[in-house]
Amino acid sequence: MSLTVAFSWKAIGFMEILLIALNLLDVIVSFYAVNVLGFMELSPLAVGFPVWVFVLKFGICLIPMVCACVLHGFGMENYLLLPLGALLILIEV
């Protein structure tokens, strides 16, 4: 039995753009809350917004898209559920 997928790597790319936009909005709102409104960052790892937080935040977001492009390049569209699942988990977190 073959599992066929009704979407392509372009659909994953669209979700990737949404994920990056949500992360960018999160960064902007966090900067606004901490610098303008005077709120305090509760996560000890994110105090002062170190560079590694941005690399981690946006670098991990690109992994499902790279995987989807590689799977498409190898003609393995039936396995696009794997990066889609990873992307959905990243959006949920």
What's the pLDDT tens digit per position in 37-84? Answer: 988 877 777 777 788 878 887 888 788 888 888 888 888 877 877 887
Domain map (residue ranges) of the chain:
9-92
pLDDT of residue 22: 84
Comparing C-alpha atoms, which of 49, 58, 71 is closest to residue 85?
A: 71
pTM listed for this prediction: 0.69
Place of tokens 């066929």: 4
Does the structure show a pLDDT above 60 at 16? yes
pLDDT of residue 23: 83
d(C-alpha 36, C-alpha 39), whole Å: 8
Amino acid found at 21: A
Average pLDDT of span 27-32: 87
